Chains A and B, each alone.
Chain A
Amino acid sequence: MAREDYEVVMGLEVHAELSTKTKIFCSCPTKFGAKPNTQVCPICMAMPGTLPTLNEKVVEYAVKAGLATNCEISRNSKNDRKNYFYPDLPKAYQISQYDKPLCEHGYIEIETSKGKKKIGITRIHIEEDAGKLDHDDLSGGALVDLNRAGVPLIEIVSEPDFRSVEEVDSYLKKLKSILEYIEVSDCKMQEGSYRADVNTSIRPIGSQKLGTRTEMKNMNSFRSITRALEYEIGRQVDILDNGGTVEQETLRWDEVSGKTFSMRDKEDAQDYRYFPEPDLVAIKLSEEYIENIRKTLPEMPESRKQRYLNDYKLSEKDAGIITSSKYLSDLFEKAGEICGNYKAVNNWIISDISRILNETEMDPIEIPFDAKQLAKLVTLIDKGTISSSIGKKVLEELFENPRDPEDIIKEKGWIQISDESAIKEIVQKIIEANPQSVTDYKGGKDRALGFLVGQAMKETKGKANPQLLNKLFIEELNK
C-alpha cells in the first residue's frame, strides 16, 4: 500500500518549564545557564530527611494553563511519586501527578491548510524536572548537575487527535503561543523549556483498530519534530508494507543521521510504581481561587488577531504570523504605538525580522532589540533620513549589536543624501560614464533607467534619496 492508504494517528505530551522564580519544592532559583550545582540545596539534592513544600505559584500557573486551554480544573488534586533509578533523579522518584491531575478535558483550536480543527487536551499536570548528566569525554564518566532538578514543569497531554504532521506542527506552535501569552513559560526551545514527546501509529484507512505506537522523546525544535515524524511515519509504512509489525518502543531522533533509534529494549520496561506522595498534602482549590485566576487571563491570540484585522487592516496571514508569538505581537503593538506606522512595523516583522529569525533559528523572545529601537528605524525611513535599503542594514546591525538606530547611522555614515545639487552631480557623473545606457533609455528601454539608478546607489553606498535620484535622472535624460 502507498503512504496515502494509511491513516496516521498521533498524540503529544508536551513538557513546558514554568517560569517561576523558584523551584517547585524548595526555594532554589530556576535561572538557566548557571554553573553546575550552584542552584541546589539539601531538598533538591534529596539529602536524607529533607521534605518538599509545594510552590503555590506552580499550581497557579498550571491552573492558568488549564483555563487557557479550556480545561476543567480539579478542585481536589494530589501529587504522586513516579519511581525509577537514574543519576539525574536524586530522590529516585519524580514527584508528579498520576490519577488526579490539576486540569482535564480541555481543547485548543488549530489552523491547518485544511481549515480549523479542535485538538483535545486529555490533562495537564504538574511535576518536577530532573537534573542533567554531562558526559565527560576525558574520563569516560558522567557528571551530575542538579541545577535543573526540581524546576517546575507542566505536562500537557493531548488526545490522539492528530492525523498529519502539519497538525502536530500547528498545535505545537499554537500551544507555545498560548503559554507565552499567559506568561507561565518562556518556552525557550533551545534551553529545553518547551519539548515534546510524540506517540505515532498508523493504520489502514478505514480501520477502527489503532496500530502499535512508538514514542519519540524530548524533541525541542519544530524543524526536527517535522523531520522526525515524516521519517517515523515512513518507517512504519515500510514495515507494514513489507509484512512486518511495528514494535512498541521508545525512540530517539538523531538529527545528524536523520533517523530514529530505539532508546531502551523491552527487558527494561519500566514499572514506575506510582503511589500518592505521602510528604505532601492534597491540593484543594476553591471556586474563588480558580475564578481569581480566570480574571487574570490576558487577551489571547485569537482576539488580538481580530483586532489587528479590524484596527490596522493587516492581512489574515500577517496577523496570524504576528499573533502566533506573544513577543512578536507585543513588539508590533509597542513599536506601532511609538512610531504610528503600524503597516511599516508589520512589514518589517513579516519580512526581514522573520527571515532573520528563520535563518538563525532564533526564538522571537530572543530578539535582542526593543520596540523603541524598531520604531525609531521606521521613523528614520519615514522622515527620509535613510532609505529602506539602508534600513535593512540597520536592522541587521540591531540584531548584531542593538542600540539607537540614529547612533548606528551616524557611526556608519549611512545618513541619506537628500541635497539636490549633490545628487545632481552624481547623476551627471553616472550619465557620462554610461553612454550606452543613455542611448538605450532614449531608444525606449525603461530598464536602462533602473540600471543607472542602481549605479548611482552603488556610487553613494545606498545613501542617495531614491525618489530624488529617480526624479533627477529623468530630468537629465530628457533634457
Chain B
Amino acid sequence: MDITELTVHELQEKIKNKELTIMQINEAYVNRIKEKEPEVQAFITELTEQGIEQAKQIQNRIDNGEKVGDLAGIPIGIKDIICTKGVKTTCASKMLEKFIAPYDATVMEKINAEEMIDLGKLNMDEFAMGGSTEYSYFKKTRNPWDLSRVPGGSSGGSAAAVSANMVPWALGTDTGGSIRQPAALCGVVGLKPTYGLVSRYGVVAFASSLDQVGVFTKDVQDCAILLNVIAGYDEKDTTSVDVGQKDYTKSLQKDIKGLKIGVPKEFYGEGINSEVKASLETAIAKYKEMGAEVEEFSLDIAKYALATYYIIACAEASSNLGRYDGIRYTYRAPEAKTLKEIYKKSRSEAFGAEVKRRIILGTYVLSSGYYDAYYKKAQQVRTLVMNEFNKAFEKYDVIVTPTSPTTAFKLGSKSNNPMEMYLADICTVSVNIAGLPGISVPCGVDSEGMPIGMQIIGNKFCEETIIKTAYAYEQETKFREKYKPTFKK
C-alpha cells in the first residue's frame, strides 16, 4: 500500500482501524516530498521537520489514550498567499521574500484548530497573477503528468503537490480561476466556494471583490470534508456571509435523477480545444445516462466577462499592492536615498513583469478621465453578468462547462504572451465576476495523456448542489482508478 495514494477519508478510515498511525502517514508524505520535489518544484517553504515534530506529539497523545479530532495529524499544503504565523508568506514575490506574518489567516486558524499538519507553503504566480505558476519569483513548478508542462496557475504549487501525492490536500485561492484551472490541468478536484463563504482575513489580497479561498483534493469526498473546515462567517471579514453551519459531506449522493444541467454554448465554441470539447460532451452524455436533464442555452454576456474581469481585478490590485512600498516589511532597494527613490526602485526591482503590467493597467483604468469608460463600465457589465447567471439558475440547478480551454501547455509557451495567458481564464472568470461557486473535476485525458477538467457552476451558496453533481459523476467514472500522473520527462 502506498500511503500517499490514499485520500484523506481513506486515511481516516485506516487510522480508525489502527492500520495506520499519524507518524506513518506523515513520514510517508515527507519521504514523498523528498523524492518528488526536486522534479516538481511545488514548495516555496518546506515545513517537513516541524511537521514530523508535530506528528510525533499528536501520535504521543494518541498513544497515551487521548482522543484527538478526526483530522488531527492529517498533512496539508498551503498556498503561499495565506498568512501563517511565524512562517514566511512570500506570495512568490521578491517583495515579500522575508515577510513573516505575526498572525494566522482565519482559514489557518481553522486548519490549526483541527490540528492538521502544514507540510509547507506552496508555489504560485507572483501575487496570484498568472495562469501557469511561471510568474513565481522563486521557481517554476512542473506538471506531474508531464514535467515539461505547466501545472496551471496561479495555485500551481497546490495543484501539483496534490497531484504528485506530496500532500493529501491543499488550500489555494481563486480570483479568476486560480484553483479550478490548475486543478483541471493537474487532474485533481478543485473547488472555489461562493464569494463570502470563506473568510479572506489573512489572505494576501489580489482583487478583493473576487478573491476566495478554496481547496484542492484527490476526490470530491475530501473536498466536502475540507470545505466543512474552512467555511464560515468571520467577523474579521465583513464581506463574509453567515449562512449557518452546513455539513457538505451530506451532499455526497450518487442519485442525480432529475437534476437540471444547463450547457452554455458559448463555452464550447471558438478557442476551446476540440479534445477538451469532446471530453466534455462525453461527460454530459454520461449525466444524461444517469438521469439528469440537460439543456443547451446561451450565456451571451460571458464574452464580456474576460475584459470585465481584467479591468476590475487590475484596478483592485493596483490599489491593494500599493502597501508594498519599501517602507515597512517589504523589500527595499538598498541604494535608494530619497523617498521617491525608495518607492520607484523598490517597486521596480521587487515586482515581476506581470505584476507591474497589472498595476499599470489598474492604475490606468482608475485614472480620472478613464474611470467611467473602464472601471465604471466594467462594474455595470458585472451586474449584467450576475443577472444573466441569476436567470440561468431559475432554470438550471448547475451549469457545466470546460474548466480550461486547453490541457496543460508547455513551459515557456505562453509566458511571453500575456494576451494568450489571459485567455486561459476564459472559462473561469465569469464565475468570479458573479461570485458563484465552481468546482473542477477530472473528466478524461487528451491524446497525450494530459488531464481534462469539467467545471460545474452552482448558484450562490449552493455548494451542496455542485458537490453532489461532481460526486455522482466521479463515482460513476472513477477517473483516479484509470489515470495517474506519470512524471514524464
Contacts and interface: CB of A to CB of B under 8 A. Distances in A.
A92 B319 contact: yes
Contacts of A42: 101-103
B315 A275 contact: yes
A476 to B, nearest CB: 80
Nearest to B104: A49
Interface in B186-205: 200-205
B482 interface: no
A271 B367 contact: yes
Nearest to A54: B238
B239 A281 contact: yes
**Of residues B99, B105, B209, B319, which shows the largest number of chain A Cβ atoms within 10 Å of its Cβ?**
B319
Interface residues of A, number: 28
B83 interface: yes
B236 A83 contact: no
A46 B237 contact: no
Contacts of B316: 275, 278
B89 interface: yes
A275 B376 CA distance: 9
A62 B96 CA distance: 38
Interface in A274-305: 274-275, 278-281
A53 B239 CA distance: 9
B107 to A, nearest CB: 10
B91 A91 contact: no
A336 interface: no
Nearest to A42: B103
Given A54-B238, A85-B343, A91-B322, A48 B327 contact: no
Given A48-B101, A49-B101, A85 B325 contact: yes
Interface in A25-80: 42, 45-54
Interface string B106-148: 0000000000000000000000000000000000000000000
B91 A51 contact: no
A449 interface: no
Nearest to A87: B327
A49 B105 contact: yes
A144 interface: yes
A221 to B, nearest CB: 29
B443 to A, nearest CB: 34
Contact of B204 (A49, A92, A278, A279): A49
B204 A51 contact: no
A273 B367 contact: yes
A93 interface: yes
B208 interface: yes
Contact of B319 (A52, A83, A87): A83
Contacts of B238: 51-54, 279-281
Contacts of B101: 42, 47-49
Interface residues of B, number: 42
Given A54-B238, A93-B319, A275-B319, A47 B329 contact: yes
Contacts, number: 98
Contacts of A90: 323, 327-328
B323 A46 contact: yes
A66 B149 CA distance: 61
A83 B208 contact: no
A51 B236 contact: yes
A275 B329 contact: no
Interface in A247-283: 271, 273-275, 278-281
B375 interface: yes
Contacts of A92: 319, 322-323, 325
A47 B323 CA distance: 8
A85 B338 CA distance: 14
Given A42-B102, A51-B201, A54-B238, A278 B323 contact: no
A141 to B, nearest CB: 10
Contacts of A50: 103, 201-202
A81 interface: yes
Contacts of A83: 318-319, 322, 366
A90 B320 CA distance: 11
B323 A48 contact: yes
Nearest to A144: B327
A48 B91 contact: yes
B202 A49 contact: yes
Given A273-B363, A275-B375, A278-B208, A48 B83 contact: yes
Given A53-B236, A54-B238, A87-B339, A278 B209 contact: yes
Interface in B359-392: 363, 366-368, 371, 375
B175 to A, nearest CB: 12
Nearest to A275: B366
B235 interface: yes
Interface string A83-101: 1010100111100000000
A48 B201 contact: no
Contacts of A48: 83, 89, 91, 96, 99, 101, 204-205, 323, 329
A43 to B, nearest CB: 9
B328 A45 contact: yes
A273 B314 CA distance: 13
B201 to A, nearest CB: 5
B239 A49 contact: no
Contacts of A281: 238-239
A46 B319 CA distance: 12
Given A42-B103, A279-B239, A49 B83 contact: yes
Nearest to B196: A281
Contacts of B202: 49-50
**Of residues A53, A87, A279, which shows the largest number of chain B Cβ atoms within 10 Å of its Cβ?**
A279
A273 B239 contact: no
Contacts of B319: 81, 83, 92-93, 273, 275
B383 to A, nearest CB: 13
Interface string A131-160: 000000000000010000000000000000
Contacts of B375: 275
B208 A279 contact: yes
Interface in B319-350: 319, 322-323, 325, 327-329, 339, 343
Nearest to A146: B328
A432 to B, nearest CB: 79
Contacts of B209: 278
Given A48-B83, A278-B316, A53 B235 contact: yes
Nearest to B234: A51
Nearest to A25: B238
Contacts of A85: 322, 325, 343
A46 B368 CA distance: 26
Contacts of B339: 87
Contacts of B368: 271, 273
Contacts of B235: 53
A425 to B, nearest CB: 77
Contacts of A46: 323, 328
Contacts of B236: 51, 53
Contacts of A52: 238
**Of residues A48, A90, A93, which shows the largest number of chain B Cβ atoms within 10 Å of its Cβ?**
A48
Contacts of B89: 48-49
Interface in A380-412: none
Interface in A206-260: none
Contacts of A91: 322-323
A243 B343 CA distance: 41
Contacts of B325: 85, 87, 92
16 contacts: A45-B328, A47-B101, A48-B205, A49-B82, A49-B200, A49-B205, A51-B239, A52-B238, A81-B319, A92-B319, A144-B327, A278-B208, A278-B239, A278-B316, A280-B239, A281-B238
Interface of A: 42, 45-54, 81, 83, 85, 87, 90-93, 144, 271, 273-275, 278-281
Chain A to chain B: the 7 pairs with minimum beta-carbon distance, closest first: A92-B322, A273-B366, A278-B208, A278-B209, A48-B204, A49-B202, A49-B204
Given A273-B319, A275-B371, 7 more contacts: A51-B238, A51-B239, A90-B323, A92-B322, A273-B366, A275-B366, A278-B207
